[in-house]
Amino acid sequence: DAGVTQSPTHLIKTRGQHVTLRCSPISGHKSVSWYQQVLGQGPQFIFQYYEKEERGRGNFPDRFSARQFPNYSSELNVNALLLGDSALYLCASSSMNNSPLHFGNGTRLTVT
């Protein structure tokens, strides 16, 4: 079975630009979460979506937004990019009901 897939794997953007990251969950998983991992730190929770509704939001500015589609895939959007947005963005999926998160390999975003 395919795991959580994320695209693109790497991305370079300029300050002020906008970026869209994509995630496909494991088949059957209805919950998708997004995490930001800055170099040398642990992942930080950004969003959780379940059945296309936002279930949780971390301490991130409104420049960050996300959505989930009917097939449970998800997009993370970041507007007005800052240098500090450079990080590995991880997507994770689960079937909820206290099942563990399964992570993708991430999208490495570099903002110059």
Partner 1 sequence: AQSVTQPDIHITVSEGASLELRCNYSYGATPYLFWYVQSPGQGLQLLLKYFSGDTLVQGIKGFEAEFKRSQSSFNLRKPSVHWSDAAEYFCAVGARNTDKLIFGTGTRLQVFP
If binding is defined by CB under 8 A, does position 22 make contact with partner 1?
no
Please report whether residue 84 would count as binding partner 1 according to CB under 8 A: no
Shortest Cβ 112–partner 1 spacing (Å): 20
Query: Is residue 31 involved in binding partner 1 (CB under 8 A)?
Result: yes
- Does 76 contact partner 1 by CB under 8 A? no
Please answer whether residues 107 and 20 qualify as being in contact, where contact means their C-beta atoms are separated by less than 8 angstroms.
no
Q: CB burial class (10 A; 0-12, 13-18, 19+) of residue 39? A: exposed
Candidate ranges 12-20, 33-41, 62-70, 72-80; the one touching partner 1 (CB under 8 A): 33-41
Q: Where are the beta strands (DSSP E) in 3-101?
A: 5-7, 10-13, 19-24, 31-37, 44-50, 53-57, 64-68, 74-78, 87-94
- Say if residues 57 and 2 touch (Cβ distance below 8 Å): no
Q: How far is the CB of 16 from partner 1 (least distance, A)?
A: 28
Contact positions toward partner 1, by CB under 8 A? 4, 31, 33, 40-45, 48, 50, 55-56, 58, 90, 92, 94, 96-98, 100-106
